[in-house]
Amino acid sequence: MKFSPEDLRELVGRDRKFDILAIGLQEAPKHNIAGLLQESLAETHSLLGEATMQSLQLFLFGAKSSQTYIKELRVDKQAIGGCGGLIGRKKGAVAIYINFSGIRMVFISCHLSAHEHKVEERNSECKHISHSLFSKDDNSHSRPSHVSVWLGDLNYRLQDISTQPARSLIRKNLQSILVEKDQLLQEAERGEVFNGYCEGTLSFKPTYKYNVGSNSYDTSYKIRVPSWTDRILFKVENNSGIDAVLHSYESIDHIKSSDHKPVKAHLCLKVNHV
């Protein structure tokens, strides 16, 4: 994947009316992405923390006035099986925990196993990551987070449909029909993964796989079935006194430097004071 300044500006957006911005990258280049992001956000936000594991990267930015609201910040990472790390394409997750103005939040950027048939592997990896992150903390006063956010290439695919029928539905703007075939939604409905998590409506086109440099789906000999591999899910703990409203959930189609389309979400939190 290659980044241009224009891509980064599109990624961080022009409307900066948010307190915290989490940016998770998978299979990202090793050059100074943090510096490039800081340059793009310099007028409004500063880097609060970062967690990296080879090509897996997570950056947390806060409004320049937010430093005084940070009570604690920790990072962790968890690799999963496979030899991807040998070529710099690590599978697993990196995470940042932050206590921001009394709201305890965890952001997780992950990259799970690929291919349609590896549903059970992805389910198992999600559970392993959930149980492993921050498990080595020796802070006896550590408490569960109020809000958890997963973002990344979860790699769940469309089930029981071939390439051409799927692409035909997308061309007709009927991708809503494909939602029923989404593996992640199926597995969540069965209670296998992401219990208690919420996700916005998949009203955008499947985000994978594109020809790099274009808005055209894969024309290689593999002609992969389009899928919503790139997702953002969130969970608010019961009795946390926090309400969460998802204002938007969309893909960024203007970015063409990857075979995936990035996805962004705008989540607003409100603390209910007793």
Mention every residue, 6+ apart, whose C-beta is less than 8 A from residue 5. 36, 40
Q: What pLDDT is attached to residue 7?
A: 79
Q: What pLDDT is attached to residue 61?
A: 95
Instruction: Please tell me the total number of residues recorded for the chain in this structure.
Output: 274
Rounded Cα gap, residues 40 and 248, in angstroms: 22
Residue 192: which pLDDT band, with cuts at 50, 70 and 90? very high
pLDDT digits (tens, 9 = 90+) for 138-189: 554 456 899 999 999 999 999 999 999 999 999 999 999 999 999 999 999 9
Q: Is residue 125 part of a domain?
A: yes
Are 53 and 84 spatial neighbours (Cβ–Cβ below 8 Å)?
no
Q: What pLDDT is attached to residue 142?
A: 58
Q: How many domains does the chain have?
A: 1
Q: Which domain holds residue 245?
A: 5-268
Q: Is residue 165 part of a domain?
A: yes
pLDDT at 56 over 80: yes
Q: Of 54-68, 144-158, 203-217, which gets the smallest average pLDDT?
A: 54-68
Residue range 119-135: mean pLDDT, rounded: 95
Q: Is residue 221 part of a domain?
A: yes
Q: What is the mean pLDDT of the chain?
A: 90
Q: Is residue 273 part of a domain?
A: no
Are 206 and 226 spatial neighbours (Cβ–Cβ below 8 Å)?
yes
From residue 228, alpha-carbon distances to 15, 123, 225, 235 in Å are: 25, 16, 10, 20
pLDDT, greater one: 76 or 2: 76
Residue range 234-245: mean pLDDT, rounded: 94
CA angle 139-154-91, nearest 5°? Answer: 65
Residue 105: which pLDDT band, with cuts at 50, 70 and 90? very high
Rounded Cα gap, residues 153 and 149, in angstroms: 13
Q: Shortest CA distance to 137 belongs to which of 102, 104, 101, 112?
A: 104
Residue range 221-239: mean pLDDT, rounded: 96
DSSP 228-240: --EEEEEEE-TTS
Q: What pLDDT is attached to residue 136?
A: 78
From residue 14, alpha-carbon distances to 40, 149, 256, 265, 274 in Å are: 10, 22, 18, 14, 35
Are 261 and 207 spatial neighbours (Cβ–Cβ below 8 Å)?
yes
Rounded Cα gap, residues 61 and 105, in angstroms: 14
Residue range 223-235: mean pLDDT, rounded: 97
CATH number for the domain that contains residue 13: 3.60.10.10
Q: What pLDDT is attached to residue 205?
A: 97
66 residue type, one letter: S
Rounded Cα gap, residues 164 and 166, in angstroms: 5
Rounded Cα gap, residues 183 and 187, in angstroms: 6
Q: Of 22-31, 197-206, 251-260, which gets the smallest average pLDDT?
A: 22-31
pLDDT at 127 over 60: yes
Structure token digits, residue 105: 């939040």
- DSSP helix/strand/coil, 2: coil
Residue range 45-70: mean pLDDT, rounded: 90
Q: Is residue 239 part of a domain?
A: yes
Mention every residue, 6+ apart, whose C-beta is less than 8 A from residue 268. 244, 245, 246, 247
Structure token digits, residue 112: 């799970």
Q: Is residue 274 part of a domain?
A: no
Q: What pLDDT is attached to residue 131?
A: 93
Residue range 18-33: mean pLDDT, rounded: 87
pLDDT at 89 over 90: no
Q: What pLDDT is attached to residue 274?
A: 55
Residue 66: which pLDDT band, with cuts at 50, 70 and 90? confident
Q: What pLDDT is attached to residue 85?
A: 44
Q: Is residue 17 part of a domain?
A: yes
